[in-house]
Structure 1
Amino acid sequence: RPALPAGYEVAELAGPISAAGLWGFGPGWTAAPPQCAALADPAPTDAGARGLSASGPGGTVYVVVGSAKPDVTALADQCGQWTMDFAHTSGTANLVEAPHIDGAQTVAMTVATRTVVESGTQTRGQANTAQAYLDGHVAVVTLVTEPGSAHPPLDGGYVADLLGKTVAAVRG
């Protein structure tokens, strides 16, 4: 909690928790190519996943830790860019440079989403997610922002910094 932004409203999260769900995709979403779905939902059945959300003027931050053992190296080679769809929401994910954390496999991505409602109005969203796989766990930090918001988003380095602090907390 102390690493979350000051003045943000904090709430607890309990799993299973999917990065895709945090980005705005409901159950039943699809990814193309399909193997990239594991990057958007690294612990799909972990009812023991726990985390926090913090919302404020710079966006909504999610920090989640769950059980996972995927090999992200192969996925990173296959999933430099992929798309996702769910009902009226679509998105494009792009892998970006991941933070280095000793003893952990890391992956990071940006996701741009678009939701079209019945009247044809479009809502756009942006998410930055970084994940670290270590000791049978995955730590996920996501920052969701709204392009065009009157408030500037949290600094881009915030997600990487918080991921490092989360991994340190997991390791004790």
Structure 2
Amino acid sequence: MRRFAAGVAAALSVAACGQPSPPAPAPSTTEAAGPIDPSRINRARYELPPDYEVADASGRITPLAQWGYGPDWSADPPQCGALANPASDPATVRGWSASGPGGIVYAVAAAGAAPADPVLLGECGTWTMTAGPTTGAVRLVDPPSVRGVEVVGMVADTATVVEGGTETRSHAQTFVAHEGAHLVYVTVVTDPGAPYPPLDGDFAADLLTRTVAALRS
């Protein structure tokens, strides 16, 4: 059995470490009023399936890193990589990762952001990524409709050549929501060769919607 994309690049310094969930559940709809507050990101942990191990995010906290691309990445066309590497204020970044039999889940929120450039969205329907032994294809997909935010959806299919020439693969869905200077994004990474069923194809979109709700309450 193929290993999970080299541990999704060693879980990119954000792999889950078995910490318990916080004591209060999150709201499950976007009807809650108020602006997005990144400090509330832990409330979204309650949207995870049972038996997922959770840890605070650390290291490189960006969709590109969660897909498995190291810091020396490149994109073709070059400008398209910015969609998966959104700018934000590092001091405000809050997030968590969770691992379980269906894949690895990341939820992140931050301030100091700006909506995706519409020009990039027009130019970057598909693009390719490279970082050392890791290569892959990325495409834009229809995002969920979330009241009051702009959402960009991406799917990345990635391959990494590891020791001995073995190739491992991963499949990732990322949805990035922007509300003014705040952003929220969810990434779900699954292993096409894993023996367990992956998380449902709608899980990432649903979690993004519920996470925005949790940050607004």
Q: Give TM-score, length-normalised by structure 2.
A: 0.75
1:44, 1:119 → 2: CA distance? 38
1:16, 1:49 → 2: CA distance? 11
The structure that has the greater radius of gyration is: 2
Is the 1:16–1:48 Cα contact (8 Å) retained in structure 2? no
1:14, 1:133 → 2: CA distance? 21
Select the structure that is richer in helix: 2
Q: State the partner residue of 2:52.
A: 8
| Larger relative contact order, structure 1 or 2 (CA cutoff 8 Å, min sep 6) | 2
Does 94-103 or 11-20 show the bigger shift? 11-20
**What percentage of residue pairs aligned between the two structures are identical?**
50
Q: State the partner residue of 2:128.
A: 83
The number of aligned residues is: 172
Q: State the partner residue of 2:17.
A: none
2:60, 2:165 → 1: CA distance? 32
Give CA-to-partner distance per residue, 1:87-136, whole Å, 9 cap, x none: 10001101111111111111111100011124211111110111111131
Runs of 4+ in 1 over 6 A off after TM superposition: none
Q: Give TM-score, length-normalised by structure 1.
A: 0.93
Is the 1:113–1:126 Cα contact (8 Å) retained in structure 2? yes
2:197, 2:176 → 1: CA distance? 24
For the pair 1:157 / 2:192, whether they are aligned, the reply is no
Q: State the partner residue of 1:29.
A: 73
Q: State the partner residue of 1:147.
A: 192
Q: Give the gaps of 5 or more residues in structure 2.
A: 1-44
* RMSD between aligned residues: 1.5
Q: How far off its partner does 1:11 sit?
A: 0.6
2:71, 2:145 → 1: CA distance? 31
Q: Give the gaps of 5 or more residues in structure 1.
A: none
Give CA-to-partner distance per residue, 1:39-89, whole Å, 9 cap, x none: 111136624311111100000010011231133433221110011100100
Q: Please, which of 87, 111, 121 is the counterpart of residue 156 of structure 2?
A: 111
Select the structure that is richer in strand: 1
Is the 1:36–1:82 Cα contact (8 Å) retained in structure 2? yes
